[in-house]
A and B are shown apart, each in its own frame.
Chain A
Amino acid sequence: MKQIISKLIGANKALCFISIVMFLMIGLFSSCDPKIADESLYTFTDKMMGQYLKDSTDFSEFAKLLDTTKVNGLLNSYGTYTCFAPDNQAMFNYYHLKGKKALTDFSLDSMKLIAYYHLISGSVLKYSDLGKGQLPELTMGERYLTISVDSVTGALKINNAAEIIKHDILVHNGIIHKINHVLDPTSFGIVEEISKNSLFTVFYRALIETHMSDSLMKDRDKSYNSLLYTSLISVSYEQAIANNNWYFQQLPTARKYGYTVLIESDETYHSYNIFTLEDLKNYAKTVYDEVYPEDAGISDVTDRRNSLNRFISYHLINKRLSVSGLIDKYNMYSNSHMIDKAGLNIYEYIETMCPGTLIEVTRKGGTNETNLINRIPETDKSVTVLLSNSDKDATNGVYHQLTGILTYNKEFHNVISSKRLRFDAASFFPELTNNDMRGKGNTAPNSQFLLPKGYVERISCSDETVVGYLTPYTKYQDYQGDEIFLNATSGKLYNFTITTPPIPAGNYEVRFGYLTNGKRGVAQLYFDDVPCGVPLNMNTYATNISIGYESPGTNAADPNGYENDKMMRNRGFMKGPACFKVVVTGWSSGQNARYSSAALRKIIGIYTFPTATNHKFMVKGLSTGEFMFDYMEFIPTSAIEAEDIY
């Protein structure tokens, strides 16, 4: 019967019409029996958020906004919300600022935008939860809020404008913080936002002149509809909670694009004697002609090989990265998997829009020194973000002012070309960042995203392959706690290709990091379409003689495990790096991944990369099983000799 109905109502319009008719029917049918006691609808005594705001004289204007936009109905329902509620004076000031006399002068769309911008659904954020920087939770307006501390009063401010003047007003379905300034949601894209800021005129001109602004325009992939893929989900959040399951699956709700612009102010340029676009062109030429002498003669600034174009492109990233998203939030969250100790630096590599280039972000282990961009170890020089003018939000991105000029110069090129580059698997794919999947910290129950075919541009796979992103979980012995997980539908074999970020030219040993669990299947690996030796039996545990893992310290004749390291390398494997650990032992253990028989690195092979470019890693399952990869490493062969255990 369902089938028949579906055939009949297949067209959307028909569905719409019939829904309306059915709705009316239900309404009228109900009207025949109107005697339902109002009081029986409520089973609690404290107020719902909507009711509280409505009853409070302080928030009557804001409540009016919520009423008009019908958001109040939502706030009177179950669920959890955090509300930053502007008081009446704040609302009046806002009207005045916008040249309006009253709330009714705003369009309904504008009002909705304002209302949703003050609300976070699904989280109750207490005052004590509001750390500095961008909040990880999106507002209902799908925008982020940034928290800062007022240097004079010490009070927390939102978006560097609205001070929290009363906090932690608990209501039945959430929490309210009173603020003294309406949060003004921008409706501009990243390019427009930069254009409005008078601090960045030279950079903005260059952005326009090079036409790189055209690369910052996308907002959302409207063709993506998560409802089409609900059949992929086998364990929903509700089921996980009901059954006390350790994980649940979900689909990304949208496929949004996002950008980050790292930007220098005119003032910064002045200190380098750059006052005009021409000056910037000349500066870019001195830097990039040295790195790319073959392109020195290209004067067309829209040519991607032109020095100014490279200069600007190197400031642009196709991920929406808050300041904490540059490195900290993947490594420094509560109960992080990463080991933070002096001398053990953590790195994040970010692909820029300048072809073939990466930015390196360093966090110095055991210190608070972070977001050190393109640090030169010998001189300890780097560029970083100016926190007082960072996390500047736009509809499709964010920008951060830098403390100095950022370039992919010869000196940094030499640094990044001669060291091991380790990429967390999730860092390969902007979709995971732009759609709030990466950077969540440990989740419980573990949040596992299933990514429909085509969702991630840099993963191409067969129809039989199921791709998932597993957010960090305390029991995962994973780098940064998360992993990319691939499987095949029942009885089928996986087959996928991953495109890596660009790697500088040179001779590299390439490895991928994974966890053994005895059920990974047999697979043939390919790198840049070249087979990586014979089929690999990944069902084999690390302690199997064919891999030969020995935990350091267990062999008296090899107390540090160096001999075992050599033996494993002879067989094409390495122990896991000593820079991360499992938070809760059980599935695996060890003080760090080096001490875990589950954490392995498979050496894929040695390759010569003639140019700096992206590469393809393909895996074809030959027997049923699953595949996961945690991270990838590219190490110049010349650096292997002196490579550390981290």
Chain B
Amino acid sequence: MKNNLKNAFYQRLLLLIMLAVNIFLFNSCQDDYLYDKTEPSWLGSNIYDYLKTDGHFTNYIKLIDDLGYTEVLKLTGSKTLFVANDSAFNVFYQSNSWGIDNYSQLTPAQKKMIFKYSMLNNAYLNETLSNYNLGGTLNEGMAMRCETELSALDTIPFESGDKLPDNPFWAKYITKGLHLMKDNTTVPLVFFTQKFLNKYAFTNEDFSVLTHGLTRLLYDSHIFNIKITKKDIVCKNGYINVLDKVLIPPVNMAEYIENNPDTKIFAKLLDRFCAPYFDAANTLVYKQLHPEFTDSIFTKHYFSSLGPNAFTVSKSNSGTKYYPDGVTLVPNLLAYDPGWNDYTQGAVEADMAAMFVPSNDAMNNYFNSPLGKLLKERFITWDNVPDEIVVPLIKRHMRTSLIETVPSKFNLMVDAENYKLPVEKSHITSSYTGVNGEVYVTNQVYPPVDFISVYGPVLFSDNTKIMKWAIKCFETSSSGTNFEFYRLYLNSMANKYSLFIPTDEYFSKYIDPIAYGQDVQGMLKFWWDVKNNVVNATIYKYNKTNGLVGDSVGFIAGNASGSVANLVRNRLWSLLDSHIVVGNVESGSNYYVTKANDIVKVSGSGSSLKVQGGNDLVNSTVSNTTNFYSQTNGNTYFLDKPIEPALKSVYKLLLSEPQFSSFFNLLNGAPTDSIFTQQGIDYRIRFFNAYRYTVYVPLNSVIDNAIQTGELQSWDAINAMPISTAAQRTAQKAAMHKLIRFLKYHFQDNAVFTEQIVNSQYQSAALKEDNATTYYNTAKTRFLKIGVHGDGNTLTLTMDTNDGTTKQAHVVKDNGLYNLIVKDFIFGNYTSGAVTTQYKNVDGTGSATGALFSSSTLTASASAVVHQIDNILKFE
């Protein structure tokens, strides 16, 4: 075999050299050449004569004669043929899908299909068949397809109405049928040569799965799943390859899926995304070839972002993105057109597509499995599943490269969103090599991550449109890329989430934090705009003192532009942040921190779970679970009310609680912006940011006592210090600095509750400014620590002292002043002063210079838990 190859190879080389030399002679100053008049002895007959003389190709010879190619194959150079001998034809007549049992029954179209599809319009050795050129670069061993002589116009079938897809675009042809090209691009030949298989490390098992069980030997070549039994028979005008079966052009993937009784459910889903498009160009050409033809020719196109463009005559891969009216944009596009014969992502030769197509049983099993339960509960049948949900399901099963989709590479496959595709070889029940890709029929469905993540229930529910809209709102990066951060976040299979989703009917009373701090308070009602598929907000007046809702004073559309464009999104994202907990909220703790750094209290579990935010705890309101879904990356809880985060700031709580007054006075006496700074609803702690903290407030008596004993200096005392000399001013400054650091030592990173079992050290807000050794060996320029020991009932604090002593404080529970949840907001576009000067009221009244409420943004928030303690915290 090898020798044959080698001989043929060198013979071909000699031919080429002779050709080159011929050209040279023609151009040069000489005239005579031996082979001008003499044929080389090793050259065989022409293709036609060879087949005729051989005597085993009578059927094929008939095809040539009948189709008028006799002279072509006697004279014209550069053809490659893949022919079947009479034995192969006899086997074909015994069993075939065309239902014929002898040559005479072949229609002209069938003859063309067999003959033209077996002929390449150039002379290729098997050795070079797997080479192709792209942009001037020769790619060796990288080809698996090539174009044949078969033209789309060689076979124009008439499709009767009962065979047409079931979607509105086909409805008007149901009764009369139509002349329909399944695709109007050329029909490539697919081949597997040793060079190609080596190049892409296909294993023999890969080949076997691709060809549904064939085995191959080294250096075997196959056209689809037909073996070439004799390669490279050299003729004067090209090469002949003998196949062990008659080569009938396979169909494309879409046709195969549609025709396969085992994939009907999937095919029906796929059919939703195709339509007939009038093919003016081919109708014209066909009419010229067949003057008797008076009808129209249509082409079936799938709505896709990669594939033929139904509206352009010239070759285009931009896909068909409009309905046949040419005006209406298709909202849901497939990854590519699965019926596109000429499928390409660069060079037709280089690769083709692949699809995993779940069998009918697999589709039914999935629908009835725990994973598919959500889908079934929501939609009952596959037919009811809306297009926007079907498309990602189909796309997950579509692969753009066969080279990357063979069994030996299944474990490396990720989908277009970089999520692993969990296909195993054992899932493949059958396979088919189409002209544009491989169809693997599977016993599994591979649902998109959207379906199985905590986002899934939101996606499927008809009553979570508001949160779904918020999750799917996109951001735009500096490079102009849009990305749906929340969807990506919630789809992370590497994490576990607890996602709380208030259903649509419970968005009628969102107390807006910015409006809450205004003279005229406001409240937002979010609602789904069916017509525009968007969430809008209506603004109402609201009285925070008595909780009464007033008249509506404004409306903001979710798709608004300009300065109000982001309000709905901004508030819903803020709300969403307050409803996502990373981790499991049923792990036994009572308190959890949300993505917004809000602290929520949770009780119960599953469908009985209840959750309260800071404001709920104040008002004794509860969000109850109405539906519970256990998903692959966590749990989703549908709630009967949004969780209401705290609206009270640290400042407000300490100000309003008499038992905190002594500590508050010290804080409030500090120079502006050293502890409190005007921001958010009223004031916020300057050194708080988007995080969660604990604030320890010593008993009034303790603070007062410390001042009385001189352990602490009051602001009055500091302010009364003489400042006549530089030294005095320095002394006063030092005293102020000391007191501020003392106060800041009561603010700790991380929220710790009395119920927690904890034994850890946390950083305070007080900077260590010297090299003295402290209890926790805090380094200079680091922040002094607070040791926290929690036994599940109360907390004991150990101070980071620098005098070798052990000093402690304890949370006081007697007064009920512990585990108090507060929240400091940061509002956008803030300069200085009260929020009332930053923005106008919701009804447009208020600060003359303030921006409209509708342009306001919530930027971030910090939460804190406040405990009363029985001792001051000191470190020096």
User: Which residues of chain A have a CB within 8 Å of any CB of chain B?
Assistant: 2-11, 13-14, 17-18, 21-22, 24-25, 28-29, 32, 230-231, 462-463, 492-493, 495, 517-522, 524, 526, 531, 533-535, 537, 539, 545-546, 548, 557-558, 560, 562-563, 566-567, 570-571, 620-626, 641-642
Contact = CB atoms under 8 A, between A and B. Distances in A.
B555 interface: no
Given A4-B122, A522-B485, A622-B488, A545 B859 contact: yes
A493 B417 contact: yes
Contacts, number: 175
B781 interface: yes
Contacts of B124: 7
Interface of B: 9, 12-13, 16-17, 20-21, 23-24, 27-29, 122-125, 127-129, 131-133, 135-138, 140, 404, 412, 414, 416-418, 475, 477-479, 481, 483-485, 488-489, 491-492, 494-495, 582, 673-674, 686-687, 689-691, 749, 763, 765, 767, 777-779, 781-783, 826, 859-860
Contacts of B859: 545
B131 A6 contact: yes
B135 A623 contact: no
Contacts of A21: 17, 20-21, 24
Given A463-B404, A534-B492, A557 B483 contact: no
B17 A518 contact: no
A620 B690 CA distance: 26
Given A3-B133, A5-B133, A519-B479, 17 more contacts: A2-B133, A7-B132, A8-B123, A10-B140, A11-B127, A14-B12, A21-B17, A21-B24, A28-B28, A32-B28, A462-B412, A462-B414, A493-B414, A519-B478, A533-B582, A535-B492, A626-B479
A10 B691 contact: no
B477 A526 contact: no
Given A17-B17, A28-B28, A29-B27, A533 B495 contact: yes
Contacts of A495: 414, 418
Contacts of B138: 6, 9-10
17 contacts: A8-B122, A24-B24, A25-B23, A29-B27, A231-B135, A518-B479, A519-B477, A519-B479, A520-B477, A522-B488, A533-B495, A545-B860, A622-B483, A623-B477, A624-B481, A625-B479, A625-B481
A557 B686 contact: yes
Contacts of A570: 689, 691, 749
Contact of A531 (B417, B478, B495, B689): B495
B778 A641 contact: yes
Given A11-B9, A14-B13, A623 B481 contact: yes
Nearest to B305: A491
A331 B451 CA distance: 51
Contacts of B485: 522, 537, 623
Nearest to B27: A29
B136 A2 contact: yes
A29 B689 contact: no
Contact of A25 (B20, B418, B782): B20
Contacts of B749: 566, 570
Nearest to A566: B783
Contacts of B484: 623
Contacts of B17: 17-18, 21
A642 B137 CA distance: 58
Contacts of B491: 622
A6 B347 CA distance: 14
The 10 A-B residue pairs with the shortest CB-CB distance, nearest first, are A518-B478, A531-B494, A519-B479, A6-B133, A10-B128, A623-B483, A10-B131, A25-B24, A21-B20, A539-B477
A560 B781 CA distance: 9
Nearest to A623: B483
Contact of A539 (B475, B495, B778, B781): B475
B689 A620 contact: no
Contact of B132 (A6, A517, A518, A625): A6
A570 B692 CA distance: 9
Nearest to A520: B477
Nearest to A645: B781
A11 B494 CA distance: 49
Find the residue from B127, B131, B412, B673 having the highest chain A CB count within 10 A: B131
A4 B121 CA distance: 10
Contact of B777 (A524, A539, A545, A641): A641
A490 to B, nearest CB: 11
Nearest to A15: B138
Given A535-B492, A571-B691, A563 B478 contact: no
A7 B484 CA distance: 46
B128 A641 contact: no
Given A8-B123, A521-B483, A563 B765 contact: yes
Contacts of B140: 10
B127 A519 contact: no
B472 to A, nearest CB: 13
Contact of B16 (A18, A535, A624): A18
B479 A230 contact: no
Nearest to A556: B673
Nearest to B120: A7
B16 A625 contact: no
